[in-house]
Homo-oligomer: A and B are copies of this chain.
Amino acid sequence: MNLPLSFQDIQAAHDLISPFVHRTPVLTSESVNEIAGAELYFKCENFQKIGAFKARGGVNAVMSLPKEQQKNGVVTHSSGNHAQAIALAAKMAGVPAYIVMPKTAPEVKKKAVAGYGAQITFCEPTQQSREENAARIQQETGATFISPYNDYTVIAGQATCAKELLEDHPNLDIVIAPVGGGGLLAGTALSCHYMNPTLEVYAGEPEGAKDTYLSMQAGEITKVDKPSSIADGLLASMGYKNFGIIKPLVKDILVVTDEEIVEAMRLIWERMKIIIEPSCAVPVAALLKYRAPFQGKKVGVILTGGNVDLAKLPF
On A, residues with C-beta under 8 Å from B are 25, 27, 46-47, 51, 108, 266, 269-270, 272-276, 306, 310-311, 313, 315
| 20 pairs, CB–CB < 8 Å, chain A vs chain B | A25-B25, A27-B47, A46-B273, A47-B272, A47-B273, A51-B273, A108-B270, A266-B310, A269-B275, A269-B310, A270-B310, A273-B274, A273-B275, A273-B276, A274-B274, A274-B275, A275-B275, A310-B313, A313-B313, A313-B315
* Neighbouring B residues of A269 by C-beta, 8 Å: 275, 310
* Neighbouring B residues of A27 by C-beta, 8 Å: 47
* Neighbouring B residues of A266 by C-beta, 8 Å: 310
| Copies of this chain in its oligomeric complex | 2
Return A114 CB to nearest CB of chain B, in Å.
15
Measured in the bound complex, the distance between the Cα atoms of B189 and A12 in whole Å is 48
Return A20 CB to nearest CB of chain B, in Å.
12
Return A197 CB to nearest CB of chain B, in Å.
32
Return A48 CB to nearest CB of chain B, in Å.
9
Most buried by B among A47, A108, A270: A270
Measured in the bound complex, the distance between the Cα atoms of B29 and A46 in whole Å is 13
* Neighbouring B residues of A315 by C-beta, 8 Å: 310-311, 313
Most buried by B among A51, A270, A273, A274: A273
Measured in the bound complex, the distance between the Cα atoms of B25 and A25 in whole Å is 10
* Neighbouring B residues of A306 by C-beta, 8 Å: 273
* Neighbouring B residues of A270 by C-beta, 8 Å: 108, 310
Measured in the bound complex, the distance between the Cα atoms of B208 and A243 in whole Å is 58
The 3 closest A-B pairs by CB, nearest first: A273-B306, A273-B275, A310-B315
* Neighbouring B residues of A310 by C-beta, 8 Å: 266, 269-270, 313, 315
Measured in the bound complex, the distance between the Cα atoms of B46 and A51 in whole Å is 19
Return A86 CB to nearest CB of chain B, in Å.
18
